[in-house]
Structure 1
Amino acid sequence: MSETRLREEICRFGRSLFERGLTPGSSGNISARTEDGGWLVTPTNASLGFLDPARISKLDATGRLLSGDKPTKEIPLHTAVYDTRGAAKAIVHLHSTHAVALTMLPEIDPRAALPPLTPYYLMKAGQTALLPYYRPGDPAVADAIRGLAGRYASVLLANHGPVVAGESLEAAVFATEELEETARLYLLLRNLNPRYLSPAQVQDLVAHFGLELPAGNHAHDHADGHGHGG
């Protein structure tokens, strides 16, 4: 994809996410790798609903600003994801309501923040890690991301929001949306003892779609056919 087209796609997806209330105000950021090894990223204090393709920040492979507005303060976070997930071509970070709410619940397993509620959650987002709270823009979050060693495509930052990587910008956006909807489902069903996918059903998805569940059997720990009564 040409850089011009990629800029337009960042703006198109950003506006879609904003208009559906998935990241309010000037919150959230999007980045995508370019063919020359650098990357494009949304500027700091910019609403995803009103991005200008010409003003998107362009960085070289070392993270140095080449053109455009000053980039988001979350550059360390994006850099850490790209450094540890070689297949990642784009990253979406939102402040979506239900995903943020999920991070504040006491029963959440940091190795598997959501149980296997639906096949599409596992197919799109995989399994989700939960990291502790860090001040927005804190370089320490990069160390926490690196500590995951690239095992997770989707990560939740406590009291902050999701960070999702994909092999394309579209894939990262779709996975982020699936994560938000699954968090919403979890909150709707919490304490109602819902049926999760069984271990056999999870294994069938893994085998059929070649999924990688990074935390070993933790998704299976949830998948006993019932909720945990949180």
Structure 2
Amino acid sequence: MEIVLYLFAIVFVLLLVGLLYTLIKDFKEIIRSLINMSKPQLFHPRTWVFTPIWLIGYVLDNFFGFEILDKYDEKSDGLERYPSTKKMELDFETGDKYIISKTSQDKLESYIKDYLDIFCNGNLAFENFQLINRNIIIMKCPKRITFFEFNLLTQHICYETKDSWGIFNSKKLSYYSYSDDKTVHNIIGRTNDGQKFSIYTLYNLDRDRFLNINQDLSVKNFNWTLINNSLKHLV
């Protein structure tokens, strides 16, 4: 009987440790979700009780730049493109393009091969993708990949592994991007000088190669050292 109680205690402690780890790891997202759920709605008086929680998020978001509040209605059908204040053109052909993913090398290679088989019709070859880091998987895309193909690939990889990004780097501009989880056809990201943008994948991206700038977008932060340290070894 004592052994059973001892094993039960061990299991309980392990579960508690796992819960604490999850809370610490995803603390910001948990708080963010709680605050957004507390947004008052005019015709639902029950939501007014939680208004103070939402107001705290509003202050943190608008005065301290915490990017907590969702800027767009989650009841959207997910097909709408985001508005923009200007369009930023980019020298896509001259820049380098990378895919970064917190997954295994085998899985990322499998995702890329699936993408090539389904979407590319032989325009790109897997042999032209170059693995440049194995700790966090970084794959350099072929120089000939088009703006449309790169964004579709980014979207595909993000669908398979959430912690994934498409990276563009040229002498004039660098940015990171990922598939927006609130809509179906938007890539969102941020340039190296802090400008937030979206890319609407239903556009003719082979013709319209630009970033739709919108500082109201809610964009996750990205640790540039993930790729900068790897690129130093290639110079």
For the aligned pair, the TM-score class normalised by the smaller chain equals under 0.3
TM-score when normalising by structure 1: 0.22
The TM-score normalised by the length of structure 2 is: 0.22
Name the structure where strand makes up a greater proportion of residues: 2
